[in-house]
Structure 1
Amino acid sequence: MRFDEYRGYDAVGLAGLVSRGEVHPAELFRLALDRCAEVDPAINATSLLMEQNGKELAEREPAGPFGGVPFLIKDLNQDYAGYPTSAGTGPLRSVRATANSLVVQRWLDAGLVIFGKTTTPEFGSKAITETRTFGATRNPWDTTRTPGGSSGGSAAAVAAGIVPMAGASDGGGSIRIPAACTGLFGLKPGRGLVSSGPLVGDPLFGAASEGVLSRSVRDTATMLDVLSVPDPGAPYQVSRPDRPYRDAVTEPPRRLRIGFTSESPLGTKVSAEAVRAVEDAATLLESLGHTVESADPGIDGRRMSMDFMTVWTAQSASRLALACRATRSSPTDFDIDTQVLAAVGRAVAAPALMQAHARWNDYTRALAGFHHTHDLLLTPTLAEPPLHIGRNRTPAPARAVLPPLLRVGAGRIIARTAYYRGLVTANLAAVPFTQLANITGRPAMNVPTSWTPEGLPLGVQFVGPSGSEYLLLQLAAEIESARPWFDRHPPEPARNRTP
């Protein structure tokens, strides 16, 4: 098999070749490894190669829905026994996992050949993938730009053709944002559908979920069947459809009423390209027979973003403390932005944290009211095309001023500075649409419907009510058929390399 043939199949298609004996998993593994060696120097998608592990898995008798298919997992929360989960940090590279996380075990049971981990910002805290430990991960469509975050390495690897699908997770947009940046399909499952166990029960108060990034809707649908098997130890159980998710791709959706908006919930600027992407998607949906109209959930987006960040910074403080304890390291061994988020989180009083989280219910009720009259909410996924590398880098003056403040524990002071407000705005203003689905626990997806005149991907987001994953997959498959994206590939690295 040649590489162009390899890239011509999705994961389900490759598994079919393996099951029919038309190709051996070892051959697919070698193609994936060779492609990684060819393109990874330009895009920096992997943080850890597990070549021997992949070789051993590729020699086993293939079994499961993805038997023999090469696969990469995200270097955050997706533990593989015997290998470190760095979470984008330097210190945690020395700590080896003692057991597989549940999603990793399910990927192994599904027959995937796992041979590495993908880059992520420290603790998944940014919508870009840049760290001092691993450097900047780059977008295969334009290596001067980000592939998004926090599943940026997975997105870059899939878009560049290393693997047809890769592990991802989403706590504030970390599946949908990279999917939009790199022209991929990305579904964030609803709260509780995919277990994060066994070490984690309800991550980020249920806002975070495990999943994948893929080039085809059927890959994600089939994977959701693998990942959504109920976990008796999970904090709660949710209902599943009475038929497999993979059936959604062959069953057209009913005619839907879809409300759309391109207004940033933060009141910040939305680029003309992002507005056009939503308008174009609305026109496409109407041509498919759906009713599409301007509508808005009516949520105070500024207040919601602050309530989201209050919880996020508290989690950052907890994760940094645990990492320091596990590695006997200092906070200064981590990125400066991680230190800042943790310092602000430590300054959050317990009552303020609980009040911020309690207001998540207000946003959930408001979105439920919207879904009472509209089947789905359509928005941009990104407020602008993928950002240039380094745009959100901490300015040199701030890097000089912050360490003394951090040493004296001035989290409350930092939280009131223009730098911190700018850090929050810079991180959320480019991606203000995705956090709503996390806070409310609703399923949401990025569909790669649009590209900018410069050839950059720019997808749109659909947010559904609880339990609407099947419906979302139906609609995504309908859009995929009407406007295929699978065969759109970025330029080869040799013609798109950044000095």
Structure 2
Amino acid sequence: MLGDVLKELDGLGLAELVKKKEVRPLELTEAAIQRAEAVNPELNAIIHKMYDKARQDAETVDLTRTFAGVPMLLKNITQEVKGEPINSGSRALQDYRSSTDSEYVRRLRKTGSVFIGQTNVPEFALMGITEPELYGPSRNPWNLGHTPGGSSGGSASAVAAGIVPIAGANDGGGSIRIPAAYCGLFGLKPTRGRVPVGPNLGRHWQGASVDHVLTKTVRDSAAMLDELVGYEKGAAFYTPRFDGSYLAELSKPLGKQKRFAFSVNSPLGTEVDPECIEAVMKTVRLLEEMGHEVEEVAAPVDGKKIANSYFTLYFGEVAASIALLEEVLGRKAKFGDVEPTTWVLGLLGKATSAEEFVLSIREWDKAAFTMETFHERYDFYVTPTTAFPPAKIGELEPSGAEKWLMNLAGKTGAGGLLKKAGIVDQLAEKSLLRTPFTQLANLTGQPAMSLPLHLTKDQLPSGVQFIAARGQEDKLFRLAAELEQTSLWVDVNRNPFMA
């Protein structure tokens, strides 16, 4: 049955069937729609359907394109399609529709992909879980009681459940890698500036956020990055040039005796679950067996400074998002327009000075220089992707006391008092307790990937993160291609939804 083919093959595999005329694009589109209708009620991965337009697009696909006729989902933030809603998980934007395609979407169209819908995100993509008040939680196909992560949680859930082989994602603090780790997928965050962010924008989150995809296979990610890269008018950042094909890199050997540094210690000094430690240690043993030199050494950066610099950005960007929201609403934003946590983050942004913001960006630059020097000695830096396996749905809800404090702060506008009370440090530690490893690469601009190399005793995926020097996605892809062939690689088709 075509539904089974959809689940089993990756994007390039499906495109090959189309090019051989063994299946028509419309048939693939209908199979993906049928699969979505069957499983999405349980997963809540898709929050906006584009079925009729997808059927039309499938009839006019250029069969010579790389992903000709392959059904795909887009993330419901920044990945804009003209005339379609883009509400970023916020009730305040639920009636807003895009006036143009984003450049990311324009390039995806040229691949021959067919967009069947948009995926669930936490409000403004702010969380490492996907539980927005507007749409409710997305669920993990490995265990419906657990989160698929965030902020690209809906995309990860859909790919892991076999609705589509590829889904749009972006990563401003781990939002590709965290869901990849939780759902047993491959997730690469490219080098800062590698993927377009326009039109009319030169950066997202000061360059911390980069768009790409979540996939079942390494080759789909590589082939898609080949399609997405290229000059963009108005882009804010220079990216080290790569003149080859990322897909072609997969057939090249990584080479012997690469130097790996690894650490299983949280950069915040907080707890790391034994399962996440074991994921790295198994990988280390395999790398040594493969003939590589592996040394336990932590990245030479101050983890707490990195976290605080990240949150300074975070607060400022939320405050700016709320200010832009006012343009859409045509009035002053008020408490209740957005979720309480979002509102409080915005208050903290308003209480953050321009001086603090500039100093935090300088901290990024220091860390970037330090890591460039670090990679003169080490080819790769290895950590757990996350400090804990996937949380249960609702487990990370604010406590009653925290909700009371947020409501009080929201109604009184007491962002400055929250800062003076030390709430920023507390918030940083609590928010990053489960995901302290991913933000570094966002702030330094390095490429980083999560590989599905471990299943916990509860049969939940746990990822291993690899970071390389800026511009070296090719090395990451070669490494991933080799590890994909080993016994450690977790087969996403083992999850209950693929049975």
Which TM-score bucket, shorter chain as reference?
over 0.9
Query: Which region of structure 1 is more displaced relative to structure 2, 294-303 or 398-407?
Result: 398-407
Q: Which position in structure 2 is the counterpart of 1:297? A: 299
Listed as ranges, the matches of 1:37-436 within 5 Å are 37-63=37-63, 64-255=65-256, 256-328=258-330, 330-417=334-421, 421-436=425-440
- 8 Å Cα contact 1:18-1:62 kept in structure 2: no
Report how many aligned residue pairs link the two structures. 494
Query: Which region of structure 1 is more displaced relative to structure 2, 393-402 or 450-459?
Result: 393-402
Q: Which position in structure 2 is the counterpart of 1:492? A: 497
Distance 1:142 1:187 in 2: 24
The structural deviation recorded for 1:419 is: 6.3
Q: SS where residue 454 of structure 2 aligns?
A: coil
- 8 Å Cα contact 1:392-1:426 kept in structure 2: no
The letter for the 2-side match of 1:14 is L
Query: Which region of structure 1 is more displaced relative to structure 2, 193-202 or 108-117?
Result: 193-202
> Does structure 1 residue 22 correspond to structure 2 residue 22?
yes
The structural deviation recorded for 1:407 is: 2.6
Distance 1:79 1:469 in 2: 26
Identity %: 39
The structural deviation recorded for 1:487 is: 5.4
The letter for the 2-side match of 1:339 is W
- Call closer, same or farther: CA 1:147–1:377 in 2, change over 3 Å: same
> Does structure 1 residue 452 correspond to structure 2 residue 452?
no
Distance 1:400 1:360 in 2: 34
Query: Which region of structure 1 is more displaced relative to structure 2, 445-454 or 54-63?
Result: 54-63
Distance 1:353 1:220 in 2: 34
Distance 1:467 1:208 in 2: 16
Q: Which position in structure 1 is the counterpart of 2:32? A: 32
Distance 1:404 1:246 in 2: 53
The structural deviation recorded for 1:195 is: 1.3
- 8 Å Cα contact 1:398-1:419 kept in structure 2: no
The letter for the 1-side match of 2:34 is D
Q: 1:3-38: CA deviations, max 9, x gaps?
A: 222211100010010011000111111111111111
Distance 2:15 2:183 in 1: 24
Query: Which region of structure 1 is more displaced relative to structure 2, 283-292 or 326-335?
Result: 326-335
Distance 2:408 2:105 in 1: 41
The letter for the 2-side match of 1:176 is R
Distance 2:169 2:33 in 1: 20
The letter for the 1-side match of 2:365 is N
Q: 1:473-498: CA deviations, max 9, x gaps?
A: 000000001234445331139x9xxx
Q: Which position in structure 1 is the counterpart of 2:467? A: 463
Distance 2:319 2:88 in 1: 14
- 8 Å Cα contact 1:320-1:331 kept in structure 2: no
Q: 1:171-222: CA deviations, max 9, x gaps?
A: 0000000000000000000011111111321111211100000000000000
Q: SS where residue 225 of structure 1 aligns?
A: helix
- Call closer, same or farther: CA 1:418–1:145 in 2, change over 3 Å: farther
Q: 1:372-398: CA deviations, max 9, x gaps?
A: 110010000010110111122122333
Q: SS where residue 306 of structure 1 aligns?
A: helix
Distance 1:417 1:88 in 2: 30
The letter for the 1-side match of 2:406 is L
Q: SS where residue 142 of structure 1 aligns?
A: coil
The structural deviation recorded for 1:118 is: 0.4
Distance 1:387 1:415 in 2: 28
- 8 Å Cα contact 1:230-1:237 kept in structure 2: no
Gaps of 5+ in 1: none
Query: Which region of structure 1 is more displaced relative to structure 2, 61-70 or 221-230?
Result: 61-70
Q: Which position in structure 2 is the counterpart of 1:13? A: 13
Q: SS where residue 458 of structure 1 aligns?
A: strand
Distance 1:116 1:155 in 2: 14
The structural deviation recorded for 1:149 is: 0.5
- 8 Å Cα contact 2:386-2:437 kept in structure 1: yes
Distance 2:373 2:342 in 1: 36
Distance 1:397 1:383 in 2: 25
Q: SS where residue 94 of structure 2 aligns?
A: helix
The structural deviation recorded for 1:425 is: 2.4
The structural deviation recorded for 1:322 is: 0.7
- 8 Å Cα contact 1:155-1:178 kept in structure 2: yes
The letter for the 2-side match of 1:400 is W
Q: SS where residue 167 of structure 2 aligns?
A: strand
- 8 Å Cα contact 1:148-1:178 kept in structure 2: yes
- 8 Å Cα contact 1:216-1:486 kept in structure 2: no
- 8 Å Cα contact 1:141-1:490 kept in structure 2: yes
- 8 Å Cα contact 1:121-1:128 kept in structure 2: yes
The letter for the 2-side match of 1:6 is L
The letter for the 2-side match of 1:21 is K
- Call closer, same or farther: CA 1:349–1:236 in 2, change over 3 Å: closer
- 8 Å Cα contact 1:445-1:463 kept in structure 2: yes
The structural deviation recorded for 1:236 is: 3.5
The structural deviation recorded for 1:252 is: 1.3
The structural deviation recorded for 1:92 is: 1.1
- Call closer, same or farther: CA 1:401–1:241 in 2, change over 3 Å: closer
Query: Which region of structure 1 is more displaced relative to structure 2, 334-343 or 390-399?
Result: 390-399
The letter for the 2-side match of 1:478 is E
Query: Which region of structure 1 is more displaced relative to structure 2, 50-59 or 392-401?
Result: 392-401
Q: SS where residue 240 of structure 1 aligns?
A: coil
Q: SS where residue 225 of structure 2 aligns?
A: helix
- 8 Å Cα contact 1:159-1:489 kept in structure 2: no
Q: SS where residue 488 of structure 1 aligns?
A: helix
Q: 1:57-94: CA deviations, max 9, x gaps?
A: 11113341001000000001111000111111112121
The structural deviation recorded for 1:402 is: 2.6
The structural deviation recorded for 1:369 is: 2.1
